[in-house]
Amino acid sequence: MSLVEPVLQGLVDSLNAAYGLCLDDDRLEEWPEFFVDDCLYQVIARENVDNGLPAAVMYCDSKGMLVDRVVALRRANVFPEHFSRHLISRAVLTGIDGDTVSAEASYALLQTRNDGETRIYNAGKYVDRLLIKDGVAKLVSRMCVYDTHRIATLLATPI
């Protein structure tokens, strides 16, 4: 199902564009602000979703946990230096329930490490529920369902 709602469409697409750039510009501390406080963020292999299995490589069910991820990444975790680049498709609105919108969008996450080569690091789709309040969309839940089930080295920066 794809709903034609130009105003909502614009809000969701704007959120996605800003979300991708926020991560790509390494403004990670701002990233939790795309979510409501009582949120759920997951990065999960498509092979798990397709088989009804719940295990995710990132599972944060509060905004605090998103903040913890960022603090850990900045201060504790060791990973290859890299740039991220999100390419995110126009969203498809799949449902509207009061002030909550369901939407999906495809993403390709490119990664460039110190060797200078840009690789397709992770491809998948966002499966989202968003709360629309005062003309702003915030994520209630975002499930990053990735096709690239072979994660190169490790996954540190959120998708």
Partner 1 sequence: MNAMAPVGAPSLPTAVDYRVYHDTQIFAAEQRNIFKGRTWCYLGLEAEIPNAGDFRATHLGETPVVLVRGQEGKLHAWVNRCAHKGATVCRSLRGNQADGAFVCVYHQWAYDSEGTLVGVPFRRGMKGVGGYEKDFDLASHSLEKLRVESYKGMVFGTFSADIESLDDFLGPVMRKYIDRVFQRPIKVLGYSRQYMAGNWKLYSENSRDSYHGGLLHLFYPTFGIYRQSQDSAGELAEQGFHNVFTVSKPKGDIDYGSFGDEANREMQGSAKLQDERLLQFRPEIEDDVGLHIQSLFPSVVLQQIQNTLATRQIVTHGVDKTELVWTYFGYADDDEETTRHRLRNLNLVGPSGLISMEDGEAVELCQQGTVGAEGKHSFIEMGGDDVRGYYAPMGMDENAVRGFWKGYLSLMGDALAVSAEASA
Q: Does position 17 bind partner 1 by CB under 8 A?
A: no
What are the two backbone dihedrals, phi and then psi, of residue 22, each rounded to the nearest 5 degrees?
Answer: -55, -50
Closer of 32 and 101 to partner 1 (Cβ) = 32
d(CA 8, CA 93): 8
Among 27, 79, 100, 118, binds partner 1 (CB under 8 A): 79
Stretch that binds partner 1, among 19-27, 75-83, 99-107, 123-131 (CB under 8 A): 75-83
Closer of 58 and 96 to partner 1 (Cβ) = 58
d(CA 20, CA 136): 17
Q: Does position 54 bind partner 1 by CB under 8 A?
A: yes
| Total Cβ atoms within 10 A of residue 44 | 21
DSSP 3-state assignment of 25? coil
The burial class, CB within 10 Å (0-12 / 13-18 / 19+), for 116 is: exposed
Q: What angle do CA 5, 140, 108 make, to 5 degrees?
A: 75
Among 22, 23, 56, 139, binds partner 1 (CB under 8 A): 56
Closer of 57 and 131 to partner 1 (Cβ) = 57
Stretch that binds partner 1, among 4-12, 69-77, 88-96, 104-112 (CB under 8 A): 69-77
Instruction: Copy the structure tokens of residue 87.
Output: 């390419």
Find the binding residues for partner 1 in span 92-121 (CB under 8 A). none
Sign for the CA dihedral angle at 85, 63, 150, 77 comes to positive
Q: Does position 71 bind partner 1 by CB under 8 A?
A: yes
Among 1, 4, 7, 55, binds partner 1 (CB under 8 A): 55
**Which residues here bind partner 1, judged by CB under 8 A?**
43-45, 47-48, 51, 53-65, 67-69, 71-72, 75-80, 149-156
